[in-house]
Structure 1
Amino acid sequence: MTGRAAHGALPPSGARHVLAYNWPMYTAGSAAVLAGAVIGRRYRAAWAGSALAAWWLSSSLIASHRVYDRSTLHSWRWLDVVLPEGPGRHLVVSAGLDEASEVLRARHPRAPQTIADLYDGLPVTESSLRRARRRVPPQPGSLTAWAQRLPGADASYDTVIAPFAVHELRRAVDREALLDECARLLRPGGAVVLVEHCRDAANAAVYGPGAWHFMPRGEWLRLAARSGLTVAHESRIARYVTVLVLRRRART
């Protein structure tokens, strides 16, 4: 047996897990640093490339440590501020790495919870996500879901919570379908809580080319507006993670 079944709750992923999930990228980056240092003896430009690669290798792990090991991200205490009424009946949307539902269930034991897992329905599954899946198996009772169909009847949830999941849908049409589904599921006045790294200057500075795996802030705003959701709250966790609370308009 592996994962939770054998050992109980696993500690949340930290910087060392980011390194483990993405080890081919870090191995290639380290090789580039070494090659640049060697070639740089003859070509000065290679020194610059080597220094830049070394910066991104180190800064990405430092930023990951700040976000995943040192911040309040995994505790979910910050949700009490951005969602003071609590999650109520809520749906947790994951894309293969669910480290939220167990904590949310413990913090809000009276709030009914459903877990939708997009992993099997992803058109493209990143190798890093497959490695993460092997470490963190799905929670018991998780429901297989697709961007075009999340579990639940119309207006059946108070909150949909999607931490680091929607960006794994690489096609815009799939992201649009998912946000439409979230809007369908929400009761009037309900909220979608998106937790994502954004493709912005801060993340690009520390994650380098890896930041292009994230979506720009404008994409989240576009998806919200298209699905009839309004931005009720926006904040940052540890500088590099954006929290957006998107509200469905309440009946008047």
Structure 2
Amino acid sequence: MIAYNWPRYAAALATAAGLAAVSGRLPPAPRALARAGSAAAVGLLASATAASWLVYDRSELYGYGWLDAVLTQEPAAHLVVGTGLDEASDVLAARWPASRQTTVDLYDPAVMTEASVRRARRRVPPPAHALPGRPDALPVAAAAVDAVFLVFAAHELRRAEQRRRLFEECARVLRPGGRLIVVEHLRDGANTAVFGPGAWHFWPRAEWLRLAGHAGLRPVAERRIAGLVTAFAFARGGA
């Protein structure tokens, strides 16, 4: 988290230090505001760091123990879609060695301009077997897989049309009865409380339900992880 977002950490610390430094030279009312702002910057930095540590290092998230609650059986074939940082394909391949895995990388530096994503890709390159793809054109045949995984991937598509087309493509490649697993932070009260304005980089729960419904997928399971991450399962009809 810190390695991928260190400029934001540096900016927050610099802001807090600057406000603290000038506060002593200000009249009482502005001094109180400056000190409150400094404390808020430090507090938000601490809460975001603590929350990230809890979710990514201490929770069940990357152990995938929660998966049994949203996916009822091992898929014969599954697809992992990434948009910059893929931390799911290796774990899922080890979990299901008999399941045929396809990995698709949608990263497009012309569209996904987040510097944190570029830093993440340098530290954790995409798998060598990952296929390049587009949100509107996954290189997978229709009805070819039993499960599709979007793990912290879909929110990086900032254009609504791209998200819509991706969900349509996920529905296309799923077999009848197959499931789309979406794992995301949500723009909600809990995430806003710990990440502050950073929570606006996430999308609200209603957005994922809307996209799934538009693609003809129905919600069948939902699991909250560490109080801050939500795993959705959407099923394709026909089974």
The TM-score range, normalised by the shorter chain, is: over 0.9
Q: Which residue of 2 aligns with 1:53?
A: 41
Map 1:72-111 onto structure 2 (within 5 A).
Answer: 72-111=60-99
Report the Cα offset of residue 47 of structure 1: 1.8
1:30 paired to 2:13: yes
Deviations 1:32-71 (A, max 9, x none): 1112222333212122222211111000010000001101
Report the Cα offset of residue 98 of structure 1: 0.8
**Partner SS for 1:86:** coil
Fraction of identical pairs, as percent: 53
Name the CA distance, whole Å, in 2 between partners of 1:121 and 1:160: 23
Deviations 1:103-152 (A, max 9, x none): 11111000100001011376223100000000111112100011011121
Report the Cα offset of residue 243 of structure 1: 0.4
Residues matched between the structures, number = 234
**Partner SS for 2:84:** coil
Q: Which residue of 2 aligns with 1:21?
A: 4
Q: Which residue of 2 aligns with 1:184?
A: 172
Name the CA distance, whole Å, in 1 between partners of 2:123 and 2:155: 20
Report the Cα offset of residue 175 of structure 1: 0.3
Considering only aligned residues, what root-mean-square deviation do their CA atoms show, in Å?
Answer: 1.2
2:145/2:178 contact within 8 Å kept: yes
Name the CA distance, whole Å, in 1 between partners of 2:159 and 2:11: 27
Gapped runs of 5+ residues in structure 2?
A: none
Deviations 1:17-41 (A, max 9, x none): x001001001000011112222333
Q: Which residue of 1 aligns with 2:159?
A: 171
Name the CA distance, whole Å, in 2 between partners of 1:122 and 1:239: 34
Name the CA distance, whole Å, in 2 between partners of 1:26 and 1:205: 17
Name the CA distance, whole Å, in 1 between partners of 2:192 and 2:23: 25
Gapped runs of 5+ residues in structure 1?
A: 1-17
Which region of structure 1 is more displaced relative to structure 2, 211-220 or 46-55?
Answer: 46-55
Name the CA distance, whole Å, in 2 between partners of 1:133 and 1:141: 15
1:40/1:47 contact within 8 Å kept: yes
Q: Which residue of 2 aligns with 1:159?
A: 147
1:66/1:238 contact within 8 Å kept: yes
